[in-house]
Amino acid sequence: MPHQGQILQEAIKNSGISITRIVDELGITRPTIYRKFKDETLDYAFVTRVGEIIGHDFSNDFTSLQQSVLPFVIPAVTPTHLQPVTSKSVTPPIAEQDYAKQLMALQTKYIALLEAYNELLLKVYGPR
Protein backbone atom coordinates (compact mmCIF):
# COMPACT_ATOMS: atom_id res chain seq x y z
CA MET A 1 0.00 0.00 0.00
CA PRO A 2 1.51 3.39 -0.94
CA HIS A 3 2.23 5.85 1.86
CA GLN A 4 1.07 9.47 1.90
CA GLY A 5 4.16 10.84 0.16
CA GLN A 6 3.74 8.40 -2.70
CA ILE A 7 0.05 9.26 -3.01
CA LEU A 8 0.95 12.96 -3.14
CA GLN A 9 3.59 12.34 -5.82
CA GLU A 10 1.19 10.31 -7.97
CA ALA A 11 -1.55 12.97 -7.71
CA ILE A 12 0.90 15.70 -8.74
CA LYS A 13 2.13 13.60 -11.66
CA ASN A 14 -1.43 12.93 -12.83
CA SER A 15 -2.39 16.61 -12.52
CA GLY A 16 -0.02 17.65 -15.30
CA ILE A 17 1.08 20.70 -13.29
CA SER A 18 4.83 21.17 -13.14
CA ILE A 19 6.79 20.67 -9.95
CA THR A 20 8.36 24.10 -10.54
CA ARG A 21 4.96 25.81 -10.42
CA ILE A 22 3.94 23.88 -7.31
CA VAL A 23 7.12 24.66 -5.36
CA ASP A 24 6.93 28.31 -6.43
CA GLU A 25 3.38 28.61 -5.13
CA LEU A 26 4.26 26.76 -1.91
CA GLY A 27 7.39 28.81 -1.37
CA ILE A 28 9.65 25.77 -1.00
CA THR A 29 12.49 24.24 -3.02
CA ARG A 30 12.41 21.26 -5.33
CA PRO A 31 14.51 19.12 -2.95
CA THR A 32 11.98 19.78 -0.20
CA ILE A 33 9.04 18.48 -2.22
CA TYR A 34 11.05 15.44 -3.30
CA ARG A 35 11.76 14.74 0.39
CA LYS A 36 8.02 15.04 1.05
CA PHE A 37 7.43 12.31 -1.55
CA LYS A 38 9.51 9.97 0.63
CA ASP A 39 7.65 10.79 3.87
CA GLU A 40 5.17 8.22 5.12
CA THR A 41 3.08 10.87 6.86
CA LEU A 42 2.46 14.41 5.71
CA ASP A 43 1.24 17.57 7.35
CA TYR A 44 -2.46 18.16 6.77
CA ALA A 45 -2.00 21.85 5.89
CA PHE A 46 0.71 20.99 3.36
CA VAL A 47 -1.41 18.35 1.62
CA THR A 48 -4.42 20.66 1.58
CA ARG A 49 -2.37 23.46 0.00
CA VAL A 50 -0.98 21.14 -2.69
CA GLY A 51 -4.53 19.93 -3.34
CA GLU A 52 -5.67 23.52 -3.86
CA ILE A 53 -2.83 24.15 -6.32
CA ILE A 54 -3.43 21.03 -8.42
CA GLY A 55 -7.20 20.97 -7.98
CA HIS A 56 -7.27 17.61 -6.20
CA ASP A 57 -9.16 16.43 -3.11
CA PHE A 58 -6.92 14.09 -1.12
CA SER A 59 -9.60 13.07 1.38
CA ASN A 60 -10.59 10.13 -0.84
CA ASP A 61 -7.00 9.02 -1.48
CA PHE A 62 -6.14 7.99 2.05
CA THR A 63 -7.64 4.86 3.58
CA SER A 64 -9.67 5.15 6.75
CA LEU A 65 -6.88 3.30 8.59
CA GLN A 66 -4.33 5.89 7.44
CA GLN A 67 -6.69 8.71 8.35
CA SER A 68 -7.29 7.40 11.87
CA VAL A 69 -3.69 6.43 12.68
CA LEU A 70 -1.69 9.09 10.87
CA PRO A 71 -1.81 12.84 11.57
CA PHE A 72 -3.43 13.62 8.19
CA VAL A 73 -6.97 13.78 9.59
CA ILE A 74 -8.31 14.36 13.08
CA PRO A 75 -10.65 11.37 13.51
CA ALA A 76 -14.26 12.07 14.34
CA VAL A 77 -15.56 10.51 17.54
CA THR A 78 -19.00 8.94 17.45
CA PRO A 79 -20.74 7.95 20.69
CA THR A 80 -21.28 4.20 21.09
CA HIS A 81 -23.80 4.50 23.88
CA LEU A 82 -25.61 7.23 25.76
CA GLN A 83 -23.85 7.72 29.07
CA PRO A 84 -23.33 11.01 30.83
CA VAL A 85 -20.14 12.77 29.84
CA THR A 86 -17.50 12.59 32.55
CA SER A 87 -14.73 15.08 33.19
CA LYS A 88 -12.48 13.17 30.77
CA SER A 89 -13.62 14.01 27.27
CA VAL A 90 -12.55 11.99 24.22
CA THR A 91 -12.57 14.93 21.81
CA PRO A 92 -10.28 17.89 22.39
CA PRO A 93 -11.99 21.19 23.19
CA ILE A 94 -12.60 23.59 20.31
CA ALA A 95 -9.86 25.91 21.55
CA GLU A 96 -7.27 23.11 21.36
CA GLN A 97 -8.33 22.31 17.79
CA ASP A 98 -7.91 25.99 16.86
CA TYR A 99 -4.46 25.99 18.45
CA ALA A 100 -3.55 22.89 16.45
CA LYS A 101 -4.61 24.57 13.21
CA GLN A 102 -2.69 27.71 14.09
CA LEU A 103 0.38 25.66 14.94
CA MET A 104 0.18 23.80 11.63
CA ALA A 105 -0.09 27.10 9.74
CA LEU A 106 2.88 28.53 11.63
CA GLN A 107 4.88 25.37 10.97
CA THR A 108 4.20 25.65 7.25
CA LYS A 109 5.25 29.31 7.24
CA TYR A 110 8.37 28.53 9.26
CA ILE A 111 9.44 25.81 6.82
CA ALA A 112 8.86 28.15 3.88
CA LEU A 113 10.95 30.82 5.63
CA LEU A 114 13.78 28.34 6.23
CA GLU A 115 13.70 27.30 2.59
CA ALA A 116 13.89 30.93 1.46
CA TYR A 117 16.78 31.53 3.85
CA ASN A 118 18.65 28.51 2.47
CA GLU A 119 18.09 29.76 -1.08
CA LEU A 120 19.47 33.16 -0.10
CA LEU A 121 22.55 31.58 1.49
CA LEU A 122 23.16 29.60 -1.69
CA LYS A 123 22.90 32.76 -3.79
CA VAL A 124 25.21 34.75 -1.53
CA TYR A 125 27.84 32.16 -0.67
CA GLY A 126 27.32 29.56 -3.40
CA PRO A 127 27.42 25.80 -2.95
CA ARG A 128 30.09 24.32 -0.70
pLDDT average, residue stretch 53-79: 62
> What pLDDT sits at residue 83?
52
Q: Which whole-number Å values give the CA distances from 32 to 11, 17, 72, 118, in the listed order? A: 17, 17, 19, 11
The answer, yes or no, to whether residue 42 has pLDDT greater than 90, is no
> What pLDDT sits at residue 124?
87
pLDDT average, residue stretch 32-38: 92
> What pLDDT sits at residue 30?
93
Q: Mean pLDDT across the chain, nearest whole number? A: 77
